[in-house]
């Protein structure tokens, strides 16, 4: 599903953010990418989102080489992905329903599909009753669940989550991880970038650890035990 | 694009306008000023053209021949003049007709005063052509051409009337083009500024859209709609005002300058708006569309 071969990313000045990364992720896997800040994990996930281009090496997702991708193909590619961020990135002037529906509008889904699909997703994340609330009326955990519903509403093949529990208390963080696991059980490949040690260690999933731009370990049912 | 998507994009376009209402208002006012001035100048130019055409119909030149020129030469000259495209009408006035016309004009009812000339036409060598032109500005060329023809003695024409009308028409057209060009630039600039402010306000939303998989077209469309809507509103207001004002201005002008009543032949408002309405609306839409197209191309490379 995801293949990184000798991938490096150097910003215009300074040290490379990612150095010669090699990584293979199968369809349906659940993978944590861990490391402290500056380890390159966020750069890695941004390359998968096609927000950044690799400076060298090959990034292949679902058989598509992201480095050769034309600008107009990017939108089509991103529809294969669901993305979740630490800061939720919800539209503050729209309610929960509209935030989730927005993801479907953007890809041109007809209204009748949106009316059916959005409530399904809100039920999945346990927010069906709060569909009229605005983001500021929700807790951090609830906002992240809306973001998750938005990421999933288009049935993506891959879910990329960048520090999804970064702004949440332990209870909400566990709840979000439980949802991610449930989504993974349904067949979606899930890649989570995090530095939340407790969660990683509790879930016993594959753990790819990075330090200073280099992948230093890759363990099945691994733990997060690296410190700088 | 689906109809529901187009409706959604249109709504977003309207929302942008409301959210960013101060800039939107400034754009609409500038656009309105632009189209208003365009409308005024269009109306003036059309009316002046209309009047010039009316005068052109009356402007003629008279072609006189050398002494003792035969009919064959006169016929040949007549034929050559008729072949010219700028000639709308040509009329031969024989020496006898000229004399009769002269008598009518100068002796009127007391024709007996002219009886002494009965067998001796004083205008025996005054057979002529009256030539009417359809394009006033080409009169000078035509005069030169006719003067060069064999047998022609003189071409009488009113140079000053021709010059004045032609120059006035060109002057109005030049001024209007210059003013409209300046205003167009200002309008495009303001629309572009409005759109770019809208983009700044919605930068986060645009970023999310792009990450979710929105195409460039989907992201751009609300801004293009916004530009078109601003352009349409900005065009519709002055066009409506001009429609109402047009007849009133004509009535006022005719009342104030009654001396010119016969000369001032105004174009009816319906005829003016048959062209002005679509051109004005398309112009407004075009300015709005291109103003926002340039801006979105510049700012939406996410």
Interchain contact A103–B (C-beta under 8 A)? yes
Taking residue B15's Cβ as centre, other Cβ atoms within 10 Å add up to 15
Q: Provide the greatest CA pair distance for chain A.
A: 52
Residue A72 to residue B215, Cβ atoms within 8 A: yes
Residue A108 to residue B218, Cβ atoms within 8 A: yes
Residue B216 to residue A72, Cβ atoms within 8 A: yes
E-assigned strand segments in chain B: 60-65, 87-93, 128-133, 152-156
pLDDT of A228 over the 60 cut: no
Q: Residue written as tokens 């195409």? A: B215
Residue B212 to residue A110, Cβ atoms within 8 A: no
Interchain contact B2–A (C-beta under 8 A)? yes
**CA separation for the pair A222, A206 (Å, rounded):** 6
Q: What does the pLDDT read at residue B234?
A: 92
Interchain contact B102–A (C-beta under 8 A)? no
Task: Give phi and psi for B289, each to the nearest 5.
Answer: -65, -50
* A51: DSSP letter: S
pLDDT in tens, A156-215: 999 999 988 888 888 888 888 888 998 999 899 999 998 888 888 888 899 999 998 899
User: What was the ipTM of the complex prediction?
Assistant: 0.80
Per residue of chain B (302 residues), what is the pLDDT tens digit?
777 778 888 888 888 888 778 888 888 888 898 889 888 888 888 887 787 777 666 667 888 888 778 888 888 888 888 888 888 888 888 877 777 777 776 666 666 665 666 666 666 677 888 888 777 677 788 888 888 888 888 888 766 665 676 677 778 778 878 887 887 888 888 888 888 888 888 888 888 888 888 888 888 888 899 899 999 999 999 999 999 999 888 888 888 877 666 667 788 889 999 999 999 999 999 988 988 888 888 877 64
Residue A130, both tokens = 């709060």
**A222 to chain B, closest Cα gap in Å:** 30
| pLDDT bracket for residue A123 (50, 70, 90) | very high
| pLDDT bracket for residue A87 (50, 70, 90) | confident
Window 42-71 of A: residues touching B by CB (8 A cutoff) are: 49, 51, 71
Residue B212 to residue A72, Cβ atoms within 8 A: no
Interchain contact B5–A (C-beta under 8 A)? yes
pLDDT in tens, B142-181: 888 888 888 888 888 766 665 676 677 778 778 878 887 8
Q: What does the pLDDT read at residue A137?
A: 93
pTM over 0.95: no
| Residue of chain B minimizing CA distance to A114 | B4
Q: What does the pLDDT read at residue B59?
A: 66
| pLDDT bracket for residue A86 (50, 70, 90) | confident
């Amino acid at each position: 599903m995801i293949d990184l071969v000798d991938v490096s990313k150097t910003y215009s000045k300074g040290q490379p953010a990612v150095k010669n990364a090699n990584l293979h992720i199968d369809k349906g896997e659940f993978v944590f990418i861990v490391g402290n800040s500056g380890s390159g994990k966020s750069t890695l996930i941004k390359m998968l989102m096609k927000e950044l281009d690799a400076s060298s090496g090959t990034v292949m997702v679902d058989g598509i080489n992201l480095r050769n991708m034309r600008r107009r193909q990017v939108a089509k590619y991103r529809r294969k992905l669901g993305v979740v961020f630490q800061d939720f990135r919800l539209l503050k002037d729209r309610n929960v329903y509209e935030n989730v529906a927005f993801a479907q509008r953007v890809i041109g889904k007809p209204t009748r599909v949106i009316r059916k699909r959005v409530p399904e997703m809100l039920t999945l994340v346990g927010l069906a009753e709060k569909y009229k609330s605005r983001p500021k009326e929700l807790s951090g955990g609830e906002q992240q669940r809306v973001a998750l519903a938005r990421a999933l509403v288009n049935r993506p093949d891959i879910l990329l989550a960048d520090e999804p529990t970064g702004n949440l208390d332990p209870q909400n963080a566990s709840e979000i991880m439980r949802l991610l696991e449930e989504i993974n059980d349904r067949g979606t490949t899930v890649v989570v970038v995090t530095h939340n040690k407790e969660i990683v260690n509790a879930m016993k999933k594959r753990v790819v650890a990075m330090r200073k731009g280099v992948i230093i370990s890759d363990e099945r049912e691994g733990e997060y035990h690296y410190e700088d | 694009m689906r109809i529901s998507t187009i409706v959604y994009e249109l709504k977003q376009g309207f929302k942008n306008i409301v959210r960013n209402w101060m800039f939107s208002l400034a754009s609409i006012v500038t656009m309105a000023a632009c189209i208003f001035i365009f409308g005024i100048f269009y109306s003036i130019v059309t009316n002046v053209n209309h009047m010039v055409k009316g005068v052109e119909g009356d402007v003629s030149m008279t072609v006189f021949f050398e002494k003792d020129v035969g009919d064959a030469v006169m016929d040949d000259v007549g034929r050559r003049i008729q072949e010219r495209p700028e000639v709308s009408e040509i009329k031969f006035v024989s020496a006898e007709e000229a004399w009769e016309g002269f008598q009518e004009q100068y002796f009127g009812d007391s024709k007996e005063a002219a009886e002494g000339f009965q067998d001796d036409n004083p205008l025996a060598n005054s057979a002529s052509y009256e030539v009417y032109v359809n394009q006033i500005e080409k009169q000078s060329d035509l005069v030169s051409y006719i003067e060069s023809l064999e047998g022609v003695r003189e071409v009488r024409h009113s140079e000053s009337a021709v010059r004045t009308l032609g120059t006035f028409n060109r002057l109005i057209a030049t001024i209007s083009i210059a003013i409209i060009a300046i205003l167009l630039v200002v309008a495009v600039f303001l629309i572009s500024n409005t759109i770019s402010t809208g983009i700044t306000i919605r930068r986060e939303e645009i970023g999310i859209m792009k990450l979710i998989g929105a195409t460039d077209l989907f992201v751009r469309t609300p801004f293009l709609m916004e530009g078109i809507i601003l352009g349409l509103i900005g065009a519709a207001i002055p066009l409506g005002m001009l429609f109402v004002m047009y007849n009133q201005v004509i009535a006022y002008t005719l009342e104030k300058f009654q001396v010119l009543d016969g000369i001032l032949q105004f174009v009816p408002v319906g005829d003016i708006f048959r062209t002005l309405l679509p051109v004005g609306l398309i112009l407004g839409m075009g300015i709005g569309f291109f103003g926002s197209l340039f801006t979105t191309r510049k700012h939406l490379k996410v």
